[in-house]
């Protein structure tokens, strides 16, 4: 598919900047994801907008199809964007903003333009721009004229791309909405919040990720009670550990206890992450010691 669109060398260079997948290559499904009500509504609207694109163009409603996904790491932003590509049967063009910042800063604005060029050429498609807060960082630190130019090019490119006219659905994602300035924020028609999952969502996520597993006495509600503050990504890690631990005992059937143990281990691991390795708790730094307390995971 790509060779058809990008034949000469300069064009091949464009492809180094982005990661492109066909909808078949995307492994994520919307069915595998647990969404908040709000997320479901936004996605529902989007699906309708794409379906009735011509009608929207006719009545002159063009401010649609630019979404910003906002939330902490591991809350499903990338996964939802990919699942949309699969479910809407659209190619997925992914770019991390930090990656198109060329070591030759002067190239950065050009890289931004190339990225949008790729997306327009592959349209209809989804253009997923990760690490969007990068914009803000470079804006506030008046480092370099080249970076400012790149940021202005980015803002202008966003203005000039359209779901209705170019069939490019733009999705930005950020962990740091507070660092995004108004100029960038204003360019998205919908902000979709990706909060850490509440108890009911955690329970649903546990059900979804264990769909193909055998678990004796499985009680996702109880596990959800024990996992306040954990994200979908954390829960997947917990499950993986439980499965691997059982495998070391030659078991492929898990128990509720295995999962509870894996949660306890996860919290320990999380404490290690927050441990100061120089002045930190001496006990934890000696083999056989326990990871320090007083370094609680921030349950918010």
Ligand X SMILES: Nc1ncnc2c1ncn2[C@@H]1O[C@H](COP(=O)(O)OP(=O)(O)OP(=O)(O)O)[C@@H](O)[C@H]1O
Q: Which residues bind ligand X (CB under 6 A)?
A: 33-34, 71, 73-79, 175, 194, 197, 205, 208, 232-233, 236
Judged by CB, which is closer to Mg ion: 131, or 219?
131
DSSP state of 30: G
Residue 39 binds Mg ion (CB under 5 A): no
Residue nearest to Mg ion (CB): 78
| Spatial distance between the Cα atoms of 164 and 147, rounded to a whole number of angstroms | 30
Cα separation of 179 and 162, whole Å? 25
126 binding partner (options ligand X, Mg ion, none; Cβ < 5 to 8 Å by kind): none
* Four-CA torsion 27, 212, 39, 196, nearest 10 degrees: -110
**Min separation Cβ 146 and Mg ion, Å:** 27
Interface segment toward Mg ion; rule CB under 5 A; list 74-82, 99-107, 222-230, 251-259: 74-82
Q: How far is CA 55 from CA 51, 62, 95, 173, in A?
A: 9, 10, 30, 28
Least gap, CB of 242 to Mg ion (angstroms): 24
Shortest separation between residue 81's beta carbon and Mg ion, angstroms: 8
Strand partners, 93: 20, 127
- Pick the closer one to ligand X by CB: 65 or 197: 197
Q: Measure the CA–CA gap between 204 and 220, rounded to whole angstroms.
A: 8
Q: How far apart are CA 69 and CA 159, in angstroms?
A: 18
Among 39, 78, 138, 231, binds Mg ion (CB under 5 A): 78
Query: Contact, 166 vs 120, CB < 8 A?
Result: yes
Determine the residue with CB nearest ligand X: 232
**Which lies closer to ligand X via its Cβ, residue 77 or residue 139?**
77
34 binds, among ligand X, Mg ion, none (CB under 5 to 8 A by kind): ligand X
Residues of the shown chain interacting with Mg ion in the complex, contacts defined by CB under 5 A: 77-78
């Amino acid at each position: 598919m790509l060779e058809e669109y990008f034949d000469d060398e300069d064009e091949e260079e464009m492809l180094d900047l982005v990661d492109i997948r066909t909808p078949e290559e995307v492994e994520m499904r919307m069915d595998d994801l647990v969404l908040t009500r709000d997320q479901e509504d936004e996605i529902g609207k989007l699906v309708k907008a794409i379906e009735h694109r011509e009608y929207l163009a006719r009545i002159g409603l063009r401010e649609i199809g630019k979404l910003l996904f906002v939330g902490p790491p591991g809350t499903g932003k990338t996964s939802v964007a990919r699942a949309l590509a699969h479910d809407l049967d659209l190619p997925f063009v992914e770019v991390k903003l930090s990656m198109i910042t060329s070591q030759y800063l002067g190239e950065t604005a050009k890289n931004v333009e190339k990225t949008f060029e790729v997306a327009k050429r592959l349209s209809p498609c989804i253009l997923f721009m990760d690490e969007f807060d990068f914009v803000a960082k470079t804006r506030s630190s008046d480092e370099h004229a080249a970076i400012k130019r790149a940021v202005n090019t980015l803002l202008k490119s966003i203005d000039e791309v359209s779901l209705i006219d170019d069939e490019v659905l733009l999705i930005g994602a950020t962990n740091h909405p507070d660092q995004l300035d108004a100029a960038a924020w204003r360019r998205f028609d919908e902000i979709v919040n990706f909060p850490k999952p509440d108890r009911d969502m955690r329970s649903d996520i546990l059900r979804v990720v264990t769909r193909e597993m055998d678990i004796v006495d499985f009680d996702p509600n109880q596990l959800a009670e024990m996992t306040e503050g954990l994200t979908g990504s954390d829960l997947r890690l917990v499950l993986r550990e439980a499965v691997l631990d059982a495998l070391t005992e030659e078991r492929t059937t898990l128990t509720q206890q295995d999962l509870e143990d894996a949660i306890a281990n996860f919290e320990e691991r999380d404490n290690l992450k927050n441990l100061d390795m120089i002045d930190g708790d001496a006990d934890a730094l000696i083999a056989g010691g326990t990871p320090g307390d007083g370094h609680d995971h921030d349950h918010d």
